[in-house]
Homo-oligomer: A and B are copies of this chain.
Amino acid sequence: MAISQEISYRLERLILDGGLAPEQKIPSERQLAARLGVSRAVIREALHELQGRGVIETRHGKGSFVASMVPQPDNTSDHSPLMHLFEGHPRTLYDLLEVREQLEGQAAFLAAQRATSLDRHRITKAFKALEDTDPLSNARPDHGFHLAIVEASHNPVLVHVLNSLKNMMLMTVQASVANLNPREEMRKKIVRQHRQLYDAVMEGKPAIAQKVATAHVRFVSEAMRDMEKQGSKVIRMPVPGEIPARDSLQNPH
């Protein structure tokens, strides 16, 4: 494997494991290059990979910083890079969610139809983990729950595609879910949706499971749209093992 990738993985693990705190400054490119005994070019390439997956932010003349996972008190500048992203190319994000809506629904349908006892056990476990977790930091359990259902669909293609789509979504998105949770009404609704989804799948009711799952994604999507309108900040929250992507594009054709 390429050196730049080894370094990016190494740095990412360091960051996600807490070795480097959010907002903390990363050593300068020249320092890293010297310390790791490689050229500055590979350091830059490694940093660009991390940048691509939203793990770090780089500011010209200042340095690179671990992306914050926590709401940032108003940053002097009126436009954080993240908001800028949303403002500039919000389309793809919703395009992504649009497709996900459909596929999560199908996954739920199939899961309700095909789940084995082992699947049910896994789903139940994930569901309980979701309930037992602090709502403010349940991005991981949330992901685990949905993943368990998708896998119970027993359609590897579906699993792979949904995984790809999730990876292509900004961490920002996942974080936004975490952002939604603090709002009591939202959190309640989401919890109820999860409960409904869980019940439908476990009781083997495909049609209902599909409906609930689709509605769930749509709900999150619309909630984000609202947040965007209100100008609320969308926060990053890296989740290990996930490779989010940024959106782009505005108009096809």
A interface residue numbers (CB < 8 A to B): 2, 4, 8-9, 12-13, 16-17, 41, 44-46, 48-55, 60, 67, 69-71, 89, 92, 95-96, 98-99, 102-103, 105-106, 110, 116, 118-119, 151, 154-161, 164-165, 167-168, 243-246, 248-249, 252-253
What 20 new A-B contacts, CB under 8 Å, besides A69-B160, A102-B105, A161-B161?
A: A4-B48, A12-B245, A12-B249, A13-B248, A16-B248, A41-B41, A48-B48, A49-B51, A52-B243, A53-B245, A54-B167, A69-B164, A70-B160, A92-B157, A95-B158, A98-B157, A98-B158, A102-B106, A157-B168, A159-B252
Pairwise interchain contact A161-B70, C-beta atoms closer than 8 A: yes
Across the interface, A246 reaches (CB within 8 A) one of B53, B99, B168, namely: B53
Please name the residue on chain B nearest to A91 by beta carbon. B156
Cα–Cα distance between A53 and B106 once the two chains are bound (Å): 25
Pairwise interchain contact B157-A70, C-beta atoms closer than 8 A: yes
Pairwise interchain contact B45-A13, C-beta atoms closer than 8 A: no
For A98, A110, A119, the residue with the greatest tally of chain B CB atoms inside 10 Å of its CB is A98
Across the interface, A157 reaches (CB within 8 A) one of B60, B67, B106, B165, namely: B165
Pairwise interchain contact A156-B49, C-beta atoms closer than 8 A: no
